[in-house]
């Protein structure tokens, strides 16, 4: 009896922190596989490389916890990004161009949110539509051509403040915001409640539509910020940039323990998920794993983490039934 | 609300239909004595394909007896094949096909020829279709002119990294094959310390280069199958004094590559001029339409661009508005 309880509590602790355990093990294996992995510059690179998709992943985390998702984030990033670069090239104003990026991304998300809350369109379809529209708009605006010669604007994505690359600083700030919102605000608790059981949340007096719309607006802000960093990092306005970033973001979210069935997840887990993917990509390139095999491994990791998530949940449920 | 939505949908379809019709010169045979050309672009999200589509439209405007409609294959074989079928059904006088995947479009191009429509394949040509014409740039030659220079410039025992385009893409594969035969087989002393598929993308190339820089003590040259990826790799090392002598080779002759060559950061690229392709395409179409010739197969030149002649090409991009 006592032993069973002990085993159970070890299992619970392990399952709670398993994602961090995986991260640590992966880190150690990578370190052993290639000594250059551990250099501060390489670790900085990985953090830099995952910054854009992780900032997008914070938006996804909030949405997925609430039982929704955003397939348009890569395309909206590109639209917001080319408009921001074009604003900067034409006006030279950093603040104005940042605002353009965030406002454009928020507007796109309000449209998605409107489709979802007002017309009860499934989030998958609504944001799929937005994905196509936003990419089309970005291509239309630029005639499919990249915008070059963006001048000092690159400093934002490529520069450092107190020795820390700016994208990493933005990553930390957005992490803090997401973690705070999810843990310490009424909105955050409502997000979990809606994802856990929408009808119950509604019955308990939560304005479900309002919370969903707010979640999309917040996602829009993150997408706008990610656009600022992405375009600066690649030193240009790229209408076809950030393709597939919505899936990178979703991958980090899911590996980080956010459940697609809603109601479960947190921002730190998402960062861990992003680092797992980042370290894995990094070490596979460092040791020269064939590109095709890399894709197979990446896919397998996603499949395993989802299988684990479902298995851990069913075990928990089983335990509850047993103890009852 | 339902009424409002259906009304909106009807209005949207009407607007699309009306603007579509005003762009088209009509769908039934030759109208107003003008020849109708359908240009089926590979994907307008691909910056080179977009450049070509824009150039083809500009070039068509110079002909009084031609109207041209552009269709977007969206980098999808199915979509592209459907567009070819519709163009046949719409009885265009000429169908220009920029294949997404030559073999997948081959039967549809053959159908167009059988329907008695003048069929031109371009970038890349679909070879061996009896009765069709083609205008192309030879991807093997585009890489080879760079290889010839690399044979001279790449130092003895050099470490190089290779950035590839999407596997299965004709231009990606042919350019890589040229590097293999014309450079690597002739220079067994050169070591490839990293090779990845960056899918023509700048951001993906950047991430790989960041990792390679950490994993290797020295990298002497970046060998890239297009300019966009070469520019991404250079973005990583451009301010690093250790890499001030790094060589970088690309293909396409984009505005960005020309500026990088001018700055002394990039070594060479070969021009795949969308302007030249467009000019040759319309000229070919016109000659075939007026019966001046019955079959034309031509290749445009792929001049090598280096520091010595880059000004000429910067001027070309400036005239086209790609450089301010």
Do the chains contact at B202 and A236, CB–CB below 8 Å?
yes
Are the C-beta atoms of residues B229 and B201 closer than 8 Å to each other?
A: yes
Q: Chain A: residue nearest B2 by CA?
A: A119
Which residues in A lie closer than 8 A to residue B214 (C-beta atoms)?
36-37, 39, 41-42, 45, 286
Domains B29-135+274-293 and B139-270 share a fold: yes
Q: Give the number of A-B residue pairs with CB atoms closer than 8 Å.
A: 89
Sign of CA dihedral B303, B306, B311, B316: positive
**Contact between B322 and A148 using a beta-carbon 8 Å cutoff:** yes
For residue A245 the two structure tokens come to: 């970033």
CA atoms of A226 and B10, how far apart (whole Å): 36
Could you read off the pLDDT of A19-31 as tens digits, one per residue?
A: 888 899 999 999 9
Token look-up 């199958």 returns B225
The helix (H) or strand (E) run that includes residue B124 is none
- Mutate: best of B19, B55, B215, partner A, most A CBs <10 A: B215
Q: How far is B232 from chain A (nearest CA, A)?
A: 7
Q: Hey, how many other C-beta atoms are within 10 angstroms of the C-beta on A292?
A: 9
Question: How far is residue A247 from each of residues A244, A302, B58, measured CA to CA in Å?
Answer: 5, 11, 37
Nearest to A232 by CA among A29, A2, A52: A52
Ordered per-residue pLDDT tens for chain B, 324 residues: 666 666 666 676 666 655 554 444 444 445 567 899 999 998 876 778 888 998 999 999 999 999 999 998 887 888 888 899 988 988 899 999 999 878 888 989 999 999 999 999 998 888 889 999 999 988 999 999 999 999 999 999 999 999 999 887 788 999 999 999 999 999 999 999 999 999 888 999 999 999 999 999 899 999 999 999 999 999 999 989 999 999 999 999 988 999 999 999 999 999 988 889 999 999 999 999 999 988 999 989 899 999 999 999 999 888 877 777
CA distance A49 to chain B (A): 6
Residue A321 main-chain phi, psi, to 5 deg: -60, -45
User: What pLDDT is stored for residue A134 in this prediction?
Assistant: 97
Q: Supply the CATH classification number for the domain A47-310.
A: 1.10.3470
B/e letters for A65-92, b = 16+ CB within 10 Å, e = fewer, are: bbbbbbbbbbbbbbbbbbbbbbbbbeee
Rounded Cα distance, A267 and A258, in Å: 9
Dmax (CA) of chain B: 74
How far is the C-alpha of B9 from the C-alpha of B3, rounded, in Å? 10
**Nearest one of B294, B307, B306, B291 to B130, comparing CA atoms:** B294
Please report how many Cα atoms fall inside a 13 Å half-sphere around the Cα of residue A160, on the Cβ side.
Answer: 8
Convert the pLDDT of each residue in A185-229 to its tens digit: 999 999 999 999 999 999 999 999 999 999 999 999 999 999 999
- Of the candidates B276, B284, B283, the one whose C-alpha atom is nearest the C-alpha of residue B120 is B284
Q: What is the mean pLDDT of residues A241-251?
A: 92
Using CA atoms, how far apart are residues A323 and A321, in angstroms rounded to an integer?
6
Q: Do B215 and A285 touch (CB under 8 A)?
A: yes
Return the residue matching tokens 């310490």: A184
> Are A148 and B259 within 8 A, CB to CB?
yes
What confidence score (pLDDT) does residue A116 get? 96
Residue A94 CA, chain-centre distance (Å), reads 25
Domain layout of chain A by residue ranges: 47-310
Per-residue pLDDT tens for A140-180? Answer: 998 888 888 787 888 888 888 988 999 999 999 999 999 99
At residue B323, the pLDDT reads 78
Predicted ipTM?
Answer: 0.74
Q: How far apart are CA B35 and CA B55, in angstroms?
A: 18
Chain B residues close to A288, C-beta within 8 Å: 194
> Looking at chain B, which runs of residues are DSSP E strands?
35-41, 66-72, 94-97, 118-122, 133-136, 159-164, 191-197, 221-224, 247-249, 269-270, 297-299, 304-305
CA dist B94 and B39 (Å) reads 8
Q: What is the Cα–Cα distance from B149 to B248, expressed in whole angstroms?
A: 11
Question: Are the beta carbons of B50 and A144 separated by less than 8 Å?
Answer: yes
Candidates B1, B192, B203, partner chain A, best to mutate (most A CBs within 10 A): B203
Q: What is the pLDDT of residue B15?
A: 65
Closest Cα of chain B to A194: distance in Å? 26
Q: CB B203 to CB A41 under 8 A?
A: no
Chain A residues touching residue B322 (CB < 8 angstroms): 145, 148
Q: Which residues of B touch A240 (CB under 8 A)?
A: 45-47
How far apart CA A304 and CA A270 sit, in angstroms, is 16
Mutate which of A45, A75, A144 to disrupt the B interface (most B C-beta within 10 Å)? A144
Q: Which residues of B touch A230 (CB under 8 A)?
A: 203
Helix B227-237 × helix B202-215 angle, to 10°: 40
Cα B62 to Cα B72: distance, rounded to the nearest angstrom? 22
Are A145 and B50 in contact (CB < 8 Å)? yes
Query: Which residues does B contribute to its contact with A (CB < 8 Å)?
Result: 5, 44-47, 49-51, 53-54, 164, 167, 194-197, 201-203, 206-208, 210-212, 214-215, 228, 231-232, 235, 254-256, 259, 322-324
CATH topology of domain B29-135+274-293: Rossmann fold (3.40.50)
Distance from CA of B301 to the nearest CA of A (A): 23
For chain B, what are the domain ranges?
29-135+274-293, 139-270
Q: Say which CATH architecture domain B139-270 belongs to.
A: 3-Layer(aba) Sandwich (3.40)
Q: Which residues of chain A make contact with B54, given a CB cutoff of 8 A?
A: 143-145
Chain A residues with CB under 8 Å of a chain B CB are 34, 36-37, 39, 41-42, 45, 48-49, 119, 135, 139, 143-146, 148-149, 158, 230, 233-236, 238-243, 281-282, 285-286, 288, 291-292
The candidate with the shortest Cα–Cα distance to B101, out of B84, B118, B114, is B84
CA B132 to chain centroid: 20
Measured between alpha carbons, how far is A261 from A267 in angstroms, rounded to an integer?
A: 17
What's chain A's average pLDDT? 89
Q: Which of A42, A119, A146 sits opposite B214 (nearest CB)?
A: A42
Percent of chain A with pLDDT over 90: 60
Tokens of B38: 């359908």
| A94: CB partners within 8 A, 6+ apart | A88, A153, A156
Closest alpha carbon to B133 in B118, B150, B155, B147: B118
């Amino acid at each position: 009896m006592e032993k069973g309880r002990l085993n159970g509590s070890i299992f619970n602790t392990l399952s709670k922190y398993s994602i961090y355990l995986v991260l640590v093990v992966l880190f150690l294996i990578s370190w052993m596989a290639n000594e250059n992995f551990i250099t501060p510059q390489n670790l900085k690179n990985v953090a830099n490389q995952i910054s854009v998709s992780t900032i997008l992943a914070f938006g996804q985390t909030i949405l997925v916890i609430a039982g929704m998702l955003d397939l348009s984030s890569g395309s909206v990033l590109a639209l917001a990004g080319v408009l921001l670069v074009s604003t900067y090239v034409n006006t030279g104003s950093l603040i104005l161009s940042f605002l353009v990026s965030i406002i454009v991304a928020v507007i796109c998300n309000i449209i998605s949110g409107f489709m979802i809350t007002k017309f009860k369109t499934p989030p998958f379809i609504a944001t799929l539509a937005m994905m196509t529209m936003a990419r089309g708009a970005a291509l239309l605006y630029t005639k499919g051509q990249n915008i070059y010669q963006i001048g000092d604007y690159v400093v934002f994505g490529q520069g450092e403040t107190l020795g820390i690359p700016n994208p990493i600083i933005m990553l930390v700030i957005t992490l803090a915001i997401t973690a705070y919102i999810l843990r310490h605000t009424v909105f955050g608790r409502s997000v979990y409640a809606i994802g856990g059981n929408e009808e119950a949340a509604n019955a308990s007096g939560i304005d479900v539509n309002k919370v969903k719309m707010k979640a999309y607006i917040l996602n829009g802000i993150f997408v706008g910020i990610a656009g600022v960093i992405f375009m600066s990092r690649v030193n240009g306005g790229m209408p076809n940039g950030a393709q597939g970033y919505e899936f990178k973001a979703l991958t980090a979210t899911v590996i980080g323990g956010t459940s697609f069935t809603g109601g479960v997840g947190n921002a730190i887990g998402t960062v861990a998920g992003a680092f797992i993917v980042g370290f894995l990509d990094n070490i596979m390139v460092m040791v020269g794993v064939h590109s095709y095999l890399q894709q197979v491994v990446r896919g397998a990791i996603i499949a395993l983490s989802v299988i684990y998530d479902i298995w851990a949940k069913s075990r928990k449920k089983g335990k509850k039934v047993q103890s009852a | 609300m339902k009424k409002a939505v259906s009304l909106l949908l009807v209005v949207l379809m009407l607007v699309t239909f009306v603007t579509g019709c005003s762009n088209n010169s009509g769908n039934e045979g030759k109208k107003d004595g003008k020849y109708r050309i359908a240009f089926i672009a590979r994907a307008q999200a691909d910056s080179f394909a977009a450049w070509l589509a824009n150039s083809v439209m500009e070039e068509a405007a110079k002909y009084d007896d031609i109207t041209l409609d552009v269709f977007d294959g969206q980098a999808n074989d199915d979509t592209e094949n459907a567009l070819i079928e519709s163009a046949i059904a719409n009885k265009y006088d000429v169908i220009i096909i920029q294949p997404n995947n030559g073999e997948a479009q081959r039967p549809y191009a053959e159908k167009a020829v059988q329907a008695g429509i003048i069929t031109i394949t371009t970038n890349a040509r679909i070879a061996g279709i009896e009765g069709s014409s083609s205008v192309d740039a030879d991807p093997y030659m585009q890489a080879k002119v760079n290889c010839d220079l690399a044979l001279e410039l790449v130092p003895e025992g050099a470490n190089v990294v290779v950035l590839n385009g999407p596997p299965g893409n004709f231009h990606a594969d042919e350019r890589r094959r040229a590097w293999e035969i014309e450079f690597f087989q002739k220079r067994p002393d050169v070591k490839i310390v990293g090779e990845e598929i960056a899918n023509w993308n700048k951001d993906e190339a950047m991430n790989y280069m960041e990792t390679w820089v950490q994993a290797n003590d020295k990298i002497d040259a970046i060998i890239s199958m297009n300019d966009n990826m070469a520019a991404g790799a250079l973005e990583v090392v451009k301010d690093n004094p250790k890499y001030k002598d790094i060589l970088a080779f690309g293909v396409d002759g984009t505005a960005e590559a020309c500026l990088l060559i001018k700055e002394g950061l990039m070594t060479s690229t070969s021009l795949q001029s969308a302007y030249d392709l467009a000019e040759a395409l319309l000229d070919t179409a016109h000659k075939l339409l007026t019966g001046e010739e019955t079959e034309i197969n031509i290749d445009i030149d792929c001049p090598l661009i280096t520091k010595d002649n880059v000004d000429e090409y910067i001027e070309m991009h400036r005239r086209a508005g790609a450089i301010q």
